[in-house]
Structure 1
Amino acid sequence: MHNKFNKLTWAVAVAAAAFASQANAGGYQINEQSVSGQGYGHAGRSSNVNDATIVFGNPAGMSFLDRAQLTAGGTYLNVSTDINNASATRNGVPVHTDGTAEGDIVPGTLVPFAFYAHPVNQQLAFGFGVYAPFGSKTDYEDTFVGRNLGNYTELRVISAQPTVSYRFNDQWAVGAGITYNRVEGELHRQVPAPILGFRQDLNGIGPVGTEELDARVQGDDDGWGYNLGVIFQPMPETTIGLTYRSKVSYTLEGDYHARQDNGEIYVNPVTGQRQERDAQLDLTTPETINLSVTQQMSDRLKLMAGASWTRWNRFDEIRVVDPNDPGGDPITLEQQDYTNAWAYALGGEYQLNPQLALRAGVTLDFTPTSDQFRSARIPSDDRRIFSVGAGWSPTDDLTLDFAYSYLSERSTHVDQLRRDAGGLITSTYTADYKNEAHGFGAQLTYRF
């Protein structure tokens, strides 16, 4: 183990977390910013103005609200993972014969949000939102058979967005928001390391075997981005919305350490290096574009369709530098080969009576990952999401929204390997994965 090792470990896991896949969107992008939108599969994300969550969906939509309102809520994600045919090797030899692959690697998670929108007059509106645009967590058991390649990954991105919109006339409105984004990442893996002892063939002290270290890395940073939106109503029954969300660039800075079972920092017996130091990784979350159409079919029924595109091809490889050696060459750690990805949604809303609206939608979400580079940290593939929901307004000032989504992911295969600095394969892991998820959402909107 040497200085390149900790950069490799940290960069692969944190960067993978930032660009992988979440419970119901391609990549590591989170869709849980609106429960009313969840009910119709977010099909009208940029065009359907229901409440203050339009601050995220399309900032131009705020100027279509008739009064100030506050919307807050969250979605609880319950993810289930089934793992089969799992095996691993180290230096070409099968290992972890007593290892396990229990599945259910994603803990239940609540994704909250809050938005406020304030129309100043018929043209101008201001708003503010706090939400999570990216994030995930995978947590394998301690005896996981593939633990040498990663057994814990967590990424959290929180965004705060002040927003303004202006409506030119009955047909056109524009909006813009600036986003402040905070990212935190953490990862663990069990690292094989040499054990120092007496070797008769060397007539002295040397490495006589290996042990597993608990290697952990943490890092954080903040960055700025922006959102832009346009709404066009060619006729009162038809609304077309377009939203652009910018990329955000980060430089995650943190620390790395590897500990033995007794809790002591490990010192490599070959190099004498203490495995505790700084680490750094440049990271860019991708820009996205959403286009949607909302059509009022009758006084009670409206239908929605939408498409989203994410520029995942920014994540072609992981490249790191030594923060203590700024003039050194960057190290390409792992090829990712992500491709740009699309998601498509269809949905509808039926106003059963003045108090109750019923919703349903379906989403097809295509993964940006490739079969060649899929990892145990992010074992995801293409998804189908089915959603239902309802909005209940006991008074003109108050609306309670509820939604349920079922995600079914295509079965996928992980065939992962790790190389040392010289390019030799040191660890491998293969397994078959099947993921599904349930999302339960609730939100409250109060109008002033």
Structure 2
Amino acid sequence: MKTNVMIKSGLGLAITLASSQLFASGFAINEQSISGMGLGFAGRSSSAEDASTVAGNPAGMSRLKQEQFTVGAAAIYAKSDINGHQATFGGSNDGDMVPFVGVPMGYYVKPIDDRLTVGFGVYVPFGLSTDYETGFAGRYFANKSVVKVITFQPTVSYAFNDKVSIGFGPTINRIDGELSRYVHSPSPLVGDGEVKVKGDDTGYGFNIGLLVQATDKTRVGLTYHSKVSYNLDGKLKASGPLFTTLLPIAGKYDASLSLDTPESWDASFTHELTDRWTLYAGSTWTRWSRLKSIDVENSSALGTVSEAQNWHDTWAHAVGVSYKLTPQWVLRTGLTVDQSPTNNTNRSPRIPSGDRRIFSLGAGYSPTPNMTFDVAYSYLKEEDVKVNDVSIPSVSNPTGGGVYNATYKNSAHGLGASLTYKF
């Protein structure tokens, strides 16, 4: 049997700590580099500023001539205003469903000789965390969603000459998640039920990159991040008065879900305008159309519960600039436009996202030649989007949530800091 409504959006979000209000489309997370965050991630495949290039473009390691590590984290505060809601079974719409979240990262790079460089990275490529208030009007479609994906990436790069280098890194990706929603009771004398799904798995993929020093002042980079296939195994738990009285199936049941996180291509360039000014620009294409729906196989008697997604492929474009104020200080700024993969028909309270604009500021400070502190701030504003969920309860659809319509206005603030140390 299948239960999709709870795992689908969450695992479809195959990731770690954030939600639809994060700084990349769908459930992707961009925050794998603080120096890149200050530029709005423009030039992600071509800048190679520090060891975080392990995630951005593994070929960029060849530009790092000293052994070094970069560690850091980004903190994200998101807010949603929910307006004009209509719900079959009533309820509130406070909108504060995204908890304060942190996104960690860490990288190490070591040149072996003039051509060969090795490295390692730990970062978060995807994430979801939403937790609506008790009595939320859309609780029969989504209540709590927490999905975490952590990637471990050993990496190697090779420089053919001073102009061209390549890089490759297999990725080991650990995903785990918890998704829940309520099930409406048809009797006023019996309380609702709740269904929770937990699952985890390890999936494997790879990142491969090319970096070309096209001129003395211009670098061009191209990076491919592969899809990752997961087969999550876990438990479905049915609890509450509904499942102990009217529909006596309370308990835990085996559950599983097959899910692919999407592949992406990132292309960018970095151009040194002067000794102080540097221009960055880039585009990212992500194959979100893989996410048509999510189906969770389970051994309970709930029957088939499906949630269509019908996502589409997306483009993100970014432009940024840095200014070398002094030998110790670098200032950065960037602007990003990012499409949402969702559509007005299938958009869910779990991922109520729309197209977004992101403005970023950043700075790097090097008190010594071997040490650099980077900080960044980003502000995200999404277009207003509508959620129109309809799932009428019936004998064949006992977990139907009725009707929930609302308009979401999402925004977010992100703040990041990192330390790079060269040996």
Paired with 1:320 and 1:107, the residues of 2 have a C-alpha distance of 26
**Partner SS, residue 243 of structure 2:** coil
Structure 1 residue aligned with 2:10: 14
Task: Determine if the alignment matches structure 1 residue 349 to structure 2 residue 341.
Answer: no
Aligned to 1:310: 286
2:124 corresponds to:
132
**Within 1, Cα distance between the matches of 2:116 and 2:264?**
26
Q: Which amino acid aligns with 1:312?
A: W
Deviation at 1:209, TM superposition (A): 5.1
The alpha carbon displacement at 1:275 in A equals 4.1
Pairing 1:249–2:229 present:
yes
Matches within 5 A, 1:220-235: 220-235=200-215
Indicate the SS of the match to 1:183: strand
Per-residue CA distance 1:240-265 (angstroms, 9 max, x = gap): 0000000000011111112226xxx9
Partner of 2:344: 371
Measured after TM superposition, the shift of residue 143 of structure 1 is 1.5
Give the Cα separation in 2 of the matches to 1:211 and 1:282: 32
Structure 1 stretches of 4+ with a deviation exceeding 6 A read none
Q: CA 1:181–1:23 in structure 2 vs 1: closer, same or farther (change >3 Å)?
A: same
- Indicate yes or no: 2:363 matched with 1:399: no
* Matched residue, 2:413: 438
Per-residue CA shift, 1:349-396, capped at 9, x if unaligned? 111110000000000010011111001111110000000100000100
Name the CA distance, whole Å, in 1 between partners of 2:203 and 2:306. Answer: 24
Q: What code does the residue aligned with 1:244 have? A: Y
1:198-253 deviation digits (Å, cap 9, x = unpaired): xxxxxxxxxx8542123211111111110000001121211000000000000111
1:447 aligns with 2:422: yes
CA distance in 2, matches of 1:16, 1:70: 32
Given that residues 100 and 143 in structure 1 are in contact (C-alpha distance below 8 angstroms), is that contact kept between their aligned partners in structure 2? yes
1:362 is paired with a residue of what secondary structure? strand
Deviation at 1:158? 0.3
| Distance (whole Å) between structure 2 residues aligned to residue 160 and residue 316 of structure 1 | 27
List aligned pairs for 1:239-278, cutoff 5 A. Answer: 239-260=219-240, 266-267=243-244, 269=246, 272-278=248-254
- Distance, in Å, in 1 between the alignment partners of 2:249 and 2:370 is 64
Letter in 2 for 1:223: G
Post-superposition offset of 1:11:
3.5
TM-score, length-scaled by structure 1: 0.89
Unaligned stretches of 5+ residues in structure 2: none
| Contact in 1 for aligned 2:34/2:376 (Cα 8 Å) | yes
Identity %: 45
Kept after mapping to 1: 8 A contact 2:45/2:57: yes
Q: Distance in 2 between matches of 1:103 and 1:133?
A: 25
Deviations 1:279-327 (A, max 9, x none): 11101000011000000111111101000000011111223434799xx
1:108-127 equivalence runs, <5 A: 108-127=100-119
Between the aligned partners of 1:213 and 1:274, the Cα distance in structure 2 is 9
Separation in structure 2 between the aligned mates of residue 421 and residue 344 of structure 1, nearest angstrom: 47
**1:387 equivalenced with 2:387 (yes/no):** no
Structure showing greater radius of gyration is 1
Measured after TM superposition, the shift of residue 16 of structure 1 is 4.2
Note if contact 1:16-1:377 (Cα within 8 Å) is conserved in structure 2.
Answer: no
Over 3 Å counting, the alpha-carbon distance change for 1:279 and 1:182 in structure 2 is same
**In the superposition, relative to structure 1, how do residues 428 and 324 fare at CA in structure 2: closer, same or farther (>3 Å)?**
closer
Determine the C-alpha separation between the residues in 1 that align with 2:343 and 2:290.
14
Contact 2:21 2:411 in 1 (8 A): no
Which of the numbers 226, 239, 256 marks the counterpart of 1:280? 256
Closer/same/farther in 2, CA of residues 150 and 356 from structure 1, 3 Å limit: same
| 2:135 pairs with 1:143 | yes
- AA aligned to 1:267 is T
Cα shift readout 1:166-218 (whole Å, capped 9, x = no counterpart): 000111100000100000110121112456xxxxxxxxxxxx85421232111
Structure 1 residues 145 and 125: CA distance shift in structure 2, 3 A: same
Structure-2 separation of matches of 1:158 and 1:400: 24
8 A contact 1:10–1:256 mirrored in 2: no
Task: Name the CA distance, whole Å, in 2 between partners of 1:324 and 1:78.
Answer: 37
Partners of 1:301 and 1:349 within 8 A in 2: yes
Number of residue pairs matched by the alignment:
417
Kindly report which structure 2 residues correspond to 1:143-292, keeping only aligned pairs within 5 A, or say none: 143-193=135-185, 210-260=190-240, 266-267=243-244, 269=246, 272-292=248-268
> Relative to 1, partners in 2 of residues 1:331 and 1:168: Cα closer, same or farther, differing over 3 Å?
farther
Match of 1:25 in 2: 24
- CA change 1:18–1:104 in 2 (3 A) is same
Counterpart Cα distance in 1 of 2:217 and 2:83: 51
State the partner residue of 1:42.
Answer: 41
Gaps spanning 5+ residues in structure 1: where?
Answer: 90-94, 196-207
AA matched with 1:126? V
**Structure-2 separation of matches of 1:136 and 1:285:** 13
